[in-house]
Amino acid sequence: MALPALAASEHRVDPTTIAVRARTVQTVWDLVSLTKPRLAALVLCTLAGGMWLAPGSLPASGWLSILLGTALLVGAANALNCWMERERDRLMPRTRNRPLAAGRLAPEVGLAFGVLLASLALGVLALGSNLLTFALEILALVSYVGAYTPLKTRTSWALVLGTVPGALPPLMGWTAVTGHLDARGLLLFGLLVAWQIPHFLAIAMFRRNEYRAAGMQVFPVVHGERATRMWMVLWAFLLLVLSLALVPLGLGGVLYASVAGVLGVVFLLVVAYGAYLDGGRGWAWKVFRLSLLHLTALFVALLLSTGSHQGSEGPGAVRGASIAQND
């Protein structure tokens, strides 16, 4: 009767081993969370959208290099952002449980992880992208980590600067295929700039008390809620204009024009409603949610509408790959 008991004891896992495994899994998850995967996914979607829409073709290896390199670069920027803001993150309920703010990762680990990702990203992009796209990728990293992040506690106008790295991905996708800047690529950049401002002002409106406690110089705290709402109306109007301006330049057809017109007007009316009727936190939350739906629908309609009237060697075609567009 002793033999079964002996066999069972041989398969029993040591509690120390279990604890080590659990810590390892937690560390890996914490490192991944530093890259802000949901934000990175949105960046990659707009990057891929720019590549798909751009005239010309790109080898499948080119697509892979740009997407992988940018994913690593975005992860690096977000990790370094978390490292730089770890003390302020502790002051806000929304961010106090982040790995560096909560103390689950040592600051030097977060810094080393961010630098490692940046090094890998720049290596991949240097080998797999053209010089212009590589320069834009560096601009995105430097403007986000070196300018926008430290300026958030010094000036409310950091918001405008912060739109640059957020709006560069579709332009980077465009230049990755075309190798040059042109009006259509720059208009995609402008579209993302115009979208980001009401989007992030809505966040600042319903989280203004948290930002104030953390010392963030966000627009509602510095300039007041009324001025913030007026700015949101202005940029919602510019967003409508820029989204429709793509059509005469040859990006998007009837489907896209219809979606951009209807959603743009609806978004503008929702923003204006709260702006002129003293919208509060509930209104700001609705604007935030609607802005996400708006951007998603715009890009889906743009891709479908453009693809419906372009040949297989049209926007963003991939030579020798199954994802080339059909006639």
- The mean-pLDDT minimum among 35-39, 47-51, 240-244, 303-307 falls in 303-307
Which of 76, 67, 65 has the alpha carbon at shortest distance from 48? Answer: 67
The residue type of 213 is: A
The residue type of 3 is: L
CATH class of 182-309: mainly alpha
The 10s digit of each residue's pLDDT in 233-271 is 999 999 999 999 999 998 888 999 999 999 999 999 999
Residue 6 pLDDT > 60: no
Give 239-247 contacts, CB < 8 A, sequence gap 24+. 239/191, 239/194, 239/195, 239/198, 239/264, 239/267, 239/268, 240/264, 240/265, 240/267, 240/268, 242/187, 242/190, 242/191, 242/194, 243/191, 243/298, 245/187, 246/184, 246/187, 246/188, 246/191, 246/302
> How many Å separate Cα 126 from the centre of its chain?
22
Query: With 0-12 CB in 10 A as exposed, 13-18 as middle and 19+ as buried, what is 322?
Result: exposed
User: Which 8-state DSSP code applies to residue 55?
Assistant: S
pLDDT at 13: 59
Q: Is it true that 18-173 and 182-309 share their CATH fold?
A: no
18-173 falls under which CATH superfamily? Answer: UbiA prenyltransferase (1.10.357.140)
pLDDT at 318: 45
Sign of CA dihedral 190, 276, 154, 78: negative
* 3-state SS assignment for residue 59: strand
- The mean-pLDDT minimum among 67-71, 78-82, 108-112, 226-230 falls in 226-230
Residues 48 and 67 sit within 8 Å (Cβ to Cβ):
yes
- Tokens matching residue 25: 């899994």
CA angle 296, 256, 294 (to 5 degrees): 25
What are the domain boundaries of the chain? 18-173, 182-309
pLDDT category at 150 given cuts 50, 70, 90 is very high
